[in-house]
Chains A and B, each alone.
Chain A
Amino acid sequence: MNTRQQCKRIYSWVGRAKSSDQKMKTFQYRGILIKSERSLTEMCILLGEFVLVEGANADQPFVAKLLKLYEDGSQEKHAVVQWFSRITELPLNKRKLLRREVSPQEIFLDKAPGYGTDINVETIIKNVKVIPLAPEEVVPVRSKGKQIFFVKESWDGKCFKPLSPGLLSELKEAEKKKRVGSPTPLTDCQVFPSDFICSLKAETDRVTRSTMKTKNIQMEIESRHSASKSSLSKERHSQRVANGINTPGARKKLQLNSPTKSRNKLTGCNVLELLGDDCDALEAREPSATKRKVTFTEILGSPPKVSRTNGEPDSPQTMRGDWSKVAETIRISPYRRGQDSSLKAKNLDGKDDDTCLAEEQELKTRRPVVIPRSHRKCVQKTTALIAEQLHFLNISEQDQEDDYLPSTDCSDSSSSEEEESMVPCTPKRKTRSSTTLSTPKSSRKPSDTTPANTPRKSPEPRTPKTPRNATPRIPIRNQATEKPANVLEEARLRLHVSTIPGSLPCREEEFQDIYNFVESKLIDGTGGCMYISGVPGTGKTATVHEVIRCLQQAAENDELPSFQFIEINGMKLTDPHQAYVQILQLLTGQKVTATHAAELLAKLFSTPGPKRKTTVLIVDELDLLWTRKQDVMYNLFDWPTQRQAKLIILAIANTMDLPERIMMNRVASRLGLTRMSFQPYTYKQLQQIISSRLNHIKAFEEDAIQLVSRKVAALSGDARRCLDICRRSTEICEFSSQKSASGLVSMAHVMKAIDEMFSSPYINSIRNASLHEQMFLKAIIAEFRRSGLEEATVQQIYHQHVALCRIEGLQIPTVSEIMAICSRLGACRFLLVESNNKYLHVRVRLNISQDDVMYALKQE
């Protein structure tokens, strides 16, 4: 999304209209030319190629195959695509159907209905490589290569199927055609923006040719291919120069390099860019390796240059010696491998031959990669690793048609040190950072913070313990929990509020209303809001969750279009604006700041997404999202009104008149009039709830249940309270010494539990207070009566207190004691005491009614 904002791209057609439809007034084209405004480079994408399409998540663009390009009457450029889905785009519960680990590079041919295949051309980002695999093939492991995708199976919304042979071959054909044919059409549509690139290109060619030459001397075994290879590679290189240069940073670097200083450095950068080209999907570290290689070829050609070029103190002699040694060790395997593939290439038809050529080329360019630096320990280790892995590959190669593995291995094993040093130059990194740069926390990779989103293994975590990768979890307990041993314990377990009941009794009507509302919106593919109110403990959230569960069930059974469900809770946010952050994170897995999240969400909901499901959003404790400007609420309720949003909002709050009371008119109007209020439960409903929870466990006497329900219904109608009382009464029953004859929870137990929970503590605590504390309370009342005011100073009360003590014949407390008593009573909040240091002049008020105090004191 923001890549588009950052560097504007210009889209134009390749060639002239291929055909036109007079009736529809459309013109069809065979390709699209994407011109990046910033880097002045162009990319040509033809029909049949694979492209990345902008999606909700900037890090995970959609993958699609270009089927058709046309321009309609209103001059808008359209494309018809065949979608491919990443594993993360598939519903969670369906992923299990695969019964295997899926690498993040694997995509699925998406045959699920419901997505529009007609997209705006301007959402296309770039082309991408997709390699079809036969069902029995294993998806090669790549740690970071995001730019190559593998397709193996198709997905039709219900199950996964291997690609049909026809389709597979078709895809492969396209793949092959692309590989062979791409340079030719590209050259004619390529425009080099400035002269220096041309000169650069020439220079590059020269160097590469010299590289080839040296290599040819070394590798007689491949001499057969060398001629075609060098020419081919030249073309490829030139293409890559043009393609890869569109990263502004890299270009800058090129300019900085003076031509006299070092050709090899130039080529290093070039190669770096070449390899950074998207089509090649090279790893971030590879370019660094390639750079070394180029330096090295120079060394071979002209030893004196060495010290200048790579500035390392070692003499060329030792280096060469080192290299030859290491080369000896690793040469065997790649050579054999090269032979193998070339042999195979001979056996196979021409199509494969080409691939082999390219691969060998790649192999060769990459193989001596680390050698010049092999005096470093880590590099030696790496080379050894490569050798080992290459050897391993030789063994397993027989059943592998695709030969991209070695490159991954190289990248996998290259040292982290090199990675560190090369990070700024890697084009891939750059593209990534450009997508995240706009967020203030650019250092934070969004994918890292969402472990659930991409289960990709990070090759080398730099610091082992950063809070960023922390997974939130609570330690696992050692011993298993004990199962309930008797009926009462079982009942207690079932009566716990946390237990999710199988059904929600007494809310059938509300359930049906909400269900119908969401269902109709889902079917229509529109959005809407519903406001649900009710006092706490009336089952609002539970009912809504139940609705969602049922809808998800229905969607799974294909009775409804599938939807995405997210939930936020005003109380679980630290600030109303955090709502944006949470919604965005739940939707796409991105983690950005609130203001940015708001922008992204607004854009997401206002633009027609090519591949978007309806979103059902529950906003619990809505009143907490209130801000002075009410912008959060406004946005929340504004989004569903937009045509493309496909957003259904269920807002939950306590008060029925919330929209009228705290919302501005424009917010309340957007919320609409679809309201529902949950009435407090009546005693019959509460009774039913308890019975259904107990589910025929005989733990309560019928009367006891009725008593609880009536009590709670009279007080608040809060189901939580009801369940808590029941739970407490089972405890009282269990520990009461004289159990009722039946062993069931009886009225007496319930009464006791109710008393515990609802009786006012004041009277009891006053009775248990010390004598002078009671006397002080009496003195307060006496003073109030005397003065006729509800407020008195300690001094006045003290006089009353002294008088009372004289009557009772008690020792008269000192003023310090009186002050202590006063503050004690104040701490318990029997009294409201002014909090200042006015000593005797502190004013005191009663926090309980005088009647209560009198009642408590008289009973003695």
Chain B
Amino acid sequence: MSKRKSKETSSVNGECISQVQRILRERFCHQCPNGKLFGVQLQYKHLLELLKRTTIHGESNSALIIGPRGSGKTMLLNHVLKELMEAKQVRENLMQVHLNGLLQTNDKIALKEITRQLQMENVVGDKVFGSFAENLAFLLEALKKGDRDSSCPVLFILDEFDLFVHHKNQTLLYNLFDISQSAQTPVTVIGLTCRQDILELLEKRVKSRFSHRQIYLMNSFDFKQYLRIFKEQLYLPAEFLYKPFTQKWNKNVQSLSEDRTVQDVLQNHFHCSKDLRSLHMLLMLALSSITVSHPFMTGSDLLEASKSCRMDSKANIVHGLSVLEICLIIAMKHLNDVYEGEPFNFQMVYNEFQKFIQRKAHSMYNFEKPVVMKAFEHLLQLELIKPIEGLCVRAQREYLLMKLLLDNNQIMDALQVYPNCPTDVKQWATSSLSWL
């Protein structure tokens, strides 16, 4: 922490810092299965047992892993698969098919992909020929021929499962679930989805064939656990090269977690979103402030990171606008107040602006109408205003109906931090009635 110390060991520190950044960045960005799982031990055990039975006993199954985005569904599955693959018996037998609803957008593509990944005999090189019907018949025939005792179990992993539901007739899902419920090749179908209403989307005969095994991931930890996760994520591993640095780093992390401001930052972050990805985002930003001269993370680093995390993107744009554009936005705000959110057009905004100019002519230069128009169009380009849909687009530009995409709060906040804003404008912003 102290400057003197860090100067003495600056060369060592330089190496250390880059190592630390590499390790932690890997941890935050890669969804590597080496990382730790938090609060999903039960689900982990359930899934592991399920897959073990498939591979070892040849039992067919189907399951859905459901949880909000960033709750660690894929991570859980990867962990389970990693442990499963450590057993030789499993490694040699299990065949995996990975599908993603975003890639396999219809059953035809999905079938080809399955055939390709299973390396069936109608695969030439890396291509699958034949029509959709032929491929389906071929695959079904292949799976039908197998039986529990002699065929390799096949694990189907359907990422973004909810998208498969929208395929025509749900043919693929029906067939996969049907195989899992009949005496054919043992298959296990694992679906990953974030939709809680997924079961309602399945057709009834598909639903009946699904075994109704649902594994929920909920991020069900409280703030104490969240703090612990925070520490775990920042701790350097014991096998890190520079032992004294590791000790100091870990101690710093410990003290950080006890710091009041840090806890506040984390608490706010936790209130907003519980998923670990956003925590990683926060830590990532804090990590980037670490340099040789500033080797340990501080509370202010985290505070800064948190600020940039929860930055309001639209309001930030307002900071970069010209005074004329700000004036237009204020005019729009007043129009919104007067007409209760009804759409406006350029002419209305221009009139409002003219009122202001005429009243306070000494402080603002009276811009020509085309100049104001240009500023208005710039706002349109920045998507601070948006033409409302469904109306005639061929209307004159001046009379196109628009809506403001900013809230009053955002405008006021932005004005507060706007540099060199004329006081007249500020006054006008607070009250449109001040001229009375």
Contact = CB atoms under 8 A, between A and B. Distances in A.
Contacts of A480: 149
Interface in B299-315: 310-315
Nearest to B125: A465
Contacts of A404: none
Contact of B204 (A476, A498, A535, A830): A535
B92 A465 contact: no
Interface residues of A, number: 84
Nearest to B173: A571
Interface string A505-524: 00000000000000000000
A768 B218 contact: yes
A489 interface: yes
A466 B150 contact: no
Interface stretch (B135-143, B247-255, B363-371): B135-143
A1 to B, nearest CB: 23
Interface in B191-226: 194-197, 204-205, 207-209, 211-214, 216, 218-220
A452 B160 CA distance: 38
Given A475-B151, A477-B151, A839-B314, A498 B208 contact: no
Contacts of A471: 121
A185 interface: no
Contacts of A742: none
A720 B181 contact: yes
Contacts of B142: 472-474
Given A480-B149, A735-B49, A829 B197 contact: yes
A67 B141 CA distance: 43
Given A761-B196, A824-B273, A827-B69, A476 B89 contact: no
A705 B407 CA distance: 59
B211 A764 contact: no
Contact of B386 (A472, A499, A838): A838
Interface string A754-774: 001110011011001111110
Contacts of B121: 465, 467, 470-473
A840 B407 contact: yes
B159 interface: no
A830 B196 contact: yes
Interface in A611-648: 621, 624
B188 interface: no
A814 interface: yes
B214 A572 contact: no
A558 interface: no
B270 to A, nearest CB: 7
A761 B66 contact: yes
Secondary structure type dominating chain B contacts: mixed
Interface string A178-218: 00000000000000000000000000000000000000000
Interface stretch (B56-64, B325-333, B354-362): B56-64
A303 interface: no
B344 to A, nearest CB: 14
Contacts of B120: 470, 472-473
Interface stretch (B126-134, B231-239, B417-425): B126-134
Contacts of B195: 827-829
A743 interface: no
A478 interface: yes
Contacts of A621: 205
A799 B312 CA distance: 16
A90 interface: no
A761 B154 contact: no
A837 B171 CA distance: 33
B293 interface: no
Most buried by A among B143, B209, B270: B209
B251 to A, nearest CB: 29
Nearest to A471: B121
Contacts of B30: none
Interface in B45-86: 45, 49, 56-60, 66, 68-69
Most buried by B among A581, A771, A773: A771
Contacts of A560: none
Contacts of A761: 66, 196, 214, 216
B353 interface: no
A291 interface: no
A457 to B, nearest CB: 17
Given A720-B208, A814-B310, A470 B122 contact: yes
A728 interface: yes
B314 A472 contact: no
A476 B152 contact: yes
Interface string A772-796: 1100000000000000000000010
A542 B21 CA distance: 61
B403 A841 contact: yes
Given A467-B129, A761-B196, A815-B312, A478 B92 contact: yes
B153 to A, nearest CB: 7
A821 B122 CA distance: 47
A481 B150 CA distance: 8
Contacts of B220: 768
B174 interface: yes
B433 interface: no
Interface string A794-836: 0100110010000000110111110011001001111000000
A581 B314 contact: no
A496 interface: yes
Contacts of B321: none
Given A467-B130, A762-B196, A476 B212 contact: no
Nearest to A734: B49
Contact of A474 (B89, B145, B212): B145
A263 interface: no
B308 to A, nearest CB: 11
Contacts of A718: 208
A498 B183 CA distance: 5
Interface string A572-591: 11110010011000000000
A128 to B, nearest CB: 33
Nearest to B219: A768
A396 interface: no
Given A474-B152, A731-B49, A575 B204 contact: no
A571 B218 contact: no
A624 B133 contact: no
Contacts of B312: 814-816
B37 interface: no
B153 A829 contact: no
A476 B118 CA distance: 13
B196 A765 contact: yes
Given A481-B58, A816-B312, A571 B93 contact: no
B427 interface: no
Contact of A571 (B49, B122, B175, B272): B175
Nearest to B179: A498
Nearest to B56: A482
Nearest to B70: A824
A721 interface: yes
Given A473-B146, A770-B219, A827-B194, 18 more contacts: A472-B121, A472-B139, A481-B148, A481-B149, A496-B60, A500-B183, A535-B204, A536-B205, A574-B171, A621-B205, A724-B213, A770-B271, A814-B310, A814-B312, A828-B196, A837-B383, A839-B383, A840-B405
24 contacts: A467-B123, A474-B154, A476-B150, A498-B180, A498-B182, A582-B137, A720-B181, A720-B208, A724-B211, A724-B213, A756-B214, A758-B212, A762-B196, A764-B216, A765-B68, A765-B218, A769-B274, A770-B219, A770-B272, A816-B310, A824-B69, A827-B195, A841-B403, A841-B405
- The 8 A-B pairs at the shortest CB distance, nearest first, are namely A470-B121, A536-B208, A472-B142, A467-B122, A768-B218, A814-B312, A472-B141, A771-B271
Interface of A: 465-467, 470-482, 484, 489, 492-493, 496-500, 535-537, 571-575, 578, 581-582, 621, 624, 654, 718, 720-721, 724, 727-728, 731, 735, 756-758, 761-762, 764-765, 768-773, 795, 798-799, 802, 810-811, 813-817, 820-821, 824, 827-830, 837-841, 847
